[in-house]
Amino acid sequence: MNRALILAVAAAVGIVVASSTLFTVHQTQQVLITQFGQPIRVITEPGLQAKIPFVQSVIAFDRRLLDYEAAGEEVILGDQRRLIVDSFTRYRITDPLLFFQTAGAAEAGIRARLNSIVTSALRRVLGNEPLLSVLSTDRTRIMGEIRRQVNEEARRFGIEVTDVRIRRADLPDENTQAILNRMQSERERVAREARAEGAEVAAQVRARADRERTVLLAEAQAQADILRGQGEQDAIRIFAEAFQRDPQFFQFWRTMQAYREAFSQGETRMLLSPDSEFFRFFRESMQMPGAASGAAAPAPRAVALPPPVPA
């Protein structure tokens, strides 16, 4: 009985010693071994490890990305506008020994220091930027500069900052309406300038189009007058050449046209002397041999005259 008890006690002691000596490092962890509070060594490889029981202690640190959300801070921008910035930071522990020496064994020890670092960087960088830059595509450049400054200061704590982002940027309640009114006035001013420039360009285009239209119409009218004059000249030349072949017939033809125009209405009254040149062809027809012998002149026939020709 005593031997069995001794064996049981020895087994229990062995189990306790083994549990205090052996420990497992998970793949998401990195371990710092301390002896009487002093750091001895750092283990970053996962697997089963051993330490001196009851003398050395194991402090595990997460090697994954960690998040830290900072409270909203009021920041004065480069154009003296106030903005409430709510940010978050992502970091990882790269040097467990340095982290233990500067921030302690718990991750909570780094949060106060990280909050101070991030807030200072936000104030420095945003203090040189206007509101429109923070709200535009320049925000990526601004966040890159903030991340660079935060990472430089955080390295002395054994951590690496991989990202800093502005989650929300709000205007203070007392300044929101005034700033919105100012922004609206600015946008309206830009819109008025754009409309004025557009109206100026439209007037220039319209004036140029009217000038070209006037030139085109004048050139077309001049060309039409030239063509019309050439046509009338050709017509006169053709008529002149045709009538020069028989001038007497031309004179007779013009007289017949005058008779048609004068007597076409049927109610025309003319006061002329009997020897007027206008009735020369009538007198000549009366002096023909058939008319002089007193014989009865044949009844006049209706003769269809051709249409008048231009003079």
Q: Are residues 76 and 119 in the same domain?
A: yes
Residues 76 and 26 occupy one common structural domain? no
Under 8 Å between Cβ of 74 and 160: no
- CATH number of the domain encompassing residue 131: 3.30.479.30
> What is the rounded distance in angstroms from the CA atom of residue 311 to the CA atom of residue 307?
12
Residue 36 backbone zone (phi > 0: left; psi -120 to 50: alpha; other: beta): left
Residue 289, domain member (yes or no): no
Domain end, chosen from 155, 170, 185, is at 170
Q: Which of 128, 112, 127, 118 lies closest to 149 in space, CA to CA? A: 118
Residues 124 and 38 in one domain: no
Q: Which residues span the domain enclosing 151?
A: 66-170
56 vs 9: which has the higher pLDDT: 56
Query: Do 22 and 84 belong together in one domain?
Result: no
Q: What is the mean pLDDT of residues 97-120?
A: 85
Between 148 and 298, the more confident residue is 148
Do the domain assignments include residue 26? yes
Look at residue 221 and tell me if it is in a domain: no
pLDDT digits (tens, 9 = 90+) for 9-22: 677 766 766 667 77
The answer to whether the CB of 67 falls within 8 A of the CB of 161 is no
Q: Rounded to 5 degrees, what angle do the CA atoms 159, 165, 170 make?
A: 140
The pLDDT of residue 297 is above 50: no
**What pLDDT does residue 19 have?**
67
DSSP-derived secondary structure letter, 307: P
What angle (nearest 5°) sits at the alpha carbon of residue 40, between those of residues 34 and 45?
95
Sign of the dihedral defined by the CA atoms of residues 27, 28, 32, 37, in that order: negative
With a cut of 70, say whether residue 111 has pLDDT above it.
yes
Residue 226 scores a pLDDT above 50: yes
Question: In this model, does residue 197 exceed pLDDT 90?
Answer: yes
> What digits encode the pLDDT tens for the residues 22-55?
788 888 888 888 888 788 888 888 888 877 787 7
- Asked if the model's pLDDT at residue 88 lies above 50, the reply is yes
Q: Is the pLDDT of residue 291 over 60?
A: no
Say whether 300 sits in a helix, a strand or coil.
coil
In the prediction, which pLDDT does 13 show? 65
Task: For residue 169, name the pLDDT band (cuts at 50, 70, 90).
Answer: confident
How many percent of the chain have pLDDT more than 70?
A: 79
Question: Looking at the structure, do residues 100 and 71 belong to the same domain, yes or no?
Answer: yes
Rounded to an integer, what distance in angstroms lies between the CA atom of residue 46 and that of residue 40? Answer: 18
Domain count, the chain: 2
Look at residue 214 and tell me if it is in a domain. Answer: no
Residue 181 dihedral angles phi and psi, to the nearest 5°: -65, -40
Asked whether residue 213 carries a pLDDT value surpassing 90, the answer given is yes
Residue 4 belongs to some domain of the structure = no
The per-residue pLDDT for 306 is: 44
- pLDDT tops 80 at residue 191: yes
Is 256 contained in some domain?
A: no
Q: What are phi and psi of 201, to 5 degrees?
A: -65, -40
Same structural domain for residues 113 and 144?
Answer: yes
pLDDT (average), residues 224-247: 85
Higher per-residue confidence, 99 vs 177: 99
User: Is the same domain home to 75 and 115?
Assistant: yes
Q: Are residues 130 and 45 in the same domain?
A: no
Tell me, what's the pLDDT at 134?
82
In a domain, 272, yes or no: no
Residues 88 and 158 in one domain: yes
The answer to whether 31 touches 43, Cβ cutoff 8 Å, is yes
pLDDT value of position 198: 93
Mean pLDDT of 199-208: 93
Band (208; pLDDT cuts 50, 70, 90): very high
Read off the pLDDT of each residue in 270-293 and give the average, rounded to a whole number: 63
In a domain, 301, yes or no: no
304 has a pLDDT exceeding 60: no
Domain end point (choices 113, 137, 170): 170
pTM of the model: 0.49
Q: Can you read off the two tokens belonging to residue 281?
A: 């062809």
- The predicted model gives 156-164 an average pLDDT of 89
Q: Which of 309, 303, 269, 271 is nearest to 285 (CA)?
A: 303
What one-letter code names the amino acid at 59? I
